Structure 1
Amino acid sequence: MPRILGTQVMLREYRQDDLPWMRQWANDPEVVVHLSDIFLYPHTLESTEAFLHMMIDGSPDCKGFVIADRNDGAYIGQISLDTIDWKNRVGRIGIVIGSAEHMGRGYGTEAMKLLIGFAFREMNLNRLELEVFDFNDRAIRCYASCGFVQEGRLRERQYKKGQYWDVLQMGLLKSEWKDDTP
């Protein structure tokens, strides 16, 4: 799969030397608080390695990229279509920026726009969807700026940070998409 180039970032293949960067965020409370409950407990080196090998080897229903600095290819985070329903042309997006120092710089928004363009133009998907905790204002603004609309709310679905939070369901249709890929 070719690299997808943006202005600040590129979406590139996973490499074995991404492991230390993945290990750095996989147990970082500032990062994983925004992620699913698979990060509720500490992640072992073995589980991170297994995930990395799965991404390197590829899977028909999951297409993932490393979000990397466009100039030097340095790891910033990950973005993927975690579950692809080929019959109905639907993909579910997952994204993580791997360190607090990289958050809030537009890398996630640019990576989202690049992945959306790839999904609609190259993969011929018709619908993209994702879920986000309602306390994650930065991510909600990012997704909205990329064209996603809120389609549902799972009330008090997630227990995080000592209380129950709603989970927002967001979607984007190919017919609604405005291609402003960097």
Structure 2
Amino acid sequence: MPHIIGTQVRLREYRHEDLVPIRQWVNDGGITGYLSDIFLYPHGLESTESFLADMMDQRPDCRSFVIAEADTELYIGQIGLDTIDWKNRFARIGIVIGQADRCGRGLGTEAMKLLCGYAFNELNLHRLELEVYDFNVRAYRSYLKCGFVEEGRQRQKLYRHGQYCDIIQMGLLRSEWTE
């Protein structure tokens, strides 16, 4: 799989050496507190090894990448298209920047723009969608910069940090991307 190279980041394949940086964030509540409920409990080494093996195999309905430094190819996080519906030409996106000191530098925004370009221009998808929690303001703003539109909210569906929070659905159409 060819790398998708931007200014600050490159999207590349998963590698065995990515296990160490993945293990550094997978049980870090400061990172996982913004992610799905699968991170509500500790993840053991075997679970992370299994995840990495799955990512290296790439299911037919999935295109996943490591977000790496553009020049050194060192792991920063990961991004991917999940449950691609090839008939209806849409996919869901998931992203994580796995190093707290790298957040807020535009790396996720650049990675998202690279992935959107790949999805629309190379895979010929028509629609991309994602969910973000209402308290994750930084991610929400990043998605807006990438052209995503808020399509709906599931009010108080998530219990996190001692309170109920909204889950925001966002979408991006190919026609909106090309504008």
User: Shift of residue 57 of structure 1?
Assistant: 1.0
Deviations 1:9-64 (A, max 9, x none): 00000000000100000000000011000001011111111110001011101110
Question: Matched residues in 1 for 2:62 and 2:110: separation?
Answer: 20
Q: 1:150-178, CA deviations, whole angstroms, 9 ceiling, x for partnerless residues? A: 00100001111011100000000001114
TM-score, normalised with respect to structure 2: 0.99
Q: Which residue of 2 aligns with 1:50?
A: 50
Q: State whether structure 2 residue 39 is matched by structure 1 residue 36.
A: no
2:21 corresponds to which residue? 21
Q: Deviations over 1:77-135 (max 9, x none)?
A: 00000211111000100000001101001100000000000000000000000000000
Q: Secondary structure of the residue that 2:109 maps to in structure 1?
A: helix
Superposed structure 1 runs of 4+ greater than 6 Å apart: none
Structure 2 stretches of 5 or more lacking a match?
Answer: none
AA aligned to 1:123 is L
TM-score (norm 1): 0.97
Could you tell me how far apart the structure 2 residues matched to 1:137 and 1:58 are?
A: 31
Q: Which residue number corresponds to residue 102 of structure 2?
A: 102
Distance 2:80 2:40 in 1: 20
Instruction: Work out the percentage of aligned pairs sharing the same amino acid.
Output: 65
Using the TM superposition, give the Cα deviation of residue 137 of structure 1 relative to its aligned residue in structure 2, in angstroms.
0.3
**Matched residues in 1 for 2:178 and 2:95: separation?**
20
Task: Name 2:172's counterpart in structure 1.
Answer: 172
| More off after superposition, 31-40 vs 170-179 | 170-179
In the comparison of the two structures, how many residue pairs are matched?
Answer: 179
56-65 or 111-120, larger mean C-alpha shift: 56-65
Pairing of 1:154-169 with structure 2 (within 5 A)? 154-169=154-169
Do the aligned partners of 1:147 and 1:178 also contact (CA within 8 Å) in 2? no
In 2, the alpha carbon distance for the partners of 1:87 and 1:40 equals 34
For residue 146 of structure 2, what is the aligned residue in structure 1? 146
Residue in 2 that maps onto 1:136: 136
Q: CA separation in 2, counterparts of 1:69 and 1:143?
A: 20
Question: What is aligned with 1:112?
Answer: 112
Match of 2:90 in 1: 90
RMSD of aligned residue pairs (Cα, Å) = 0.7
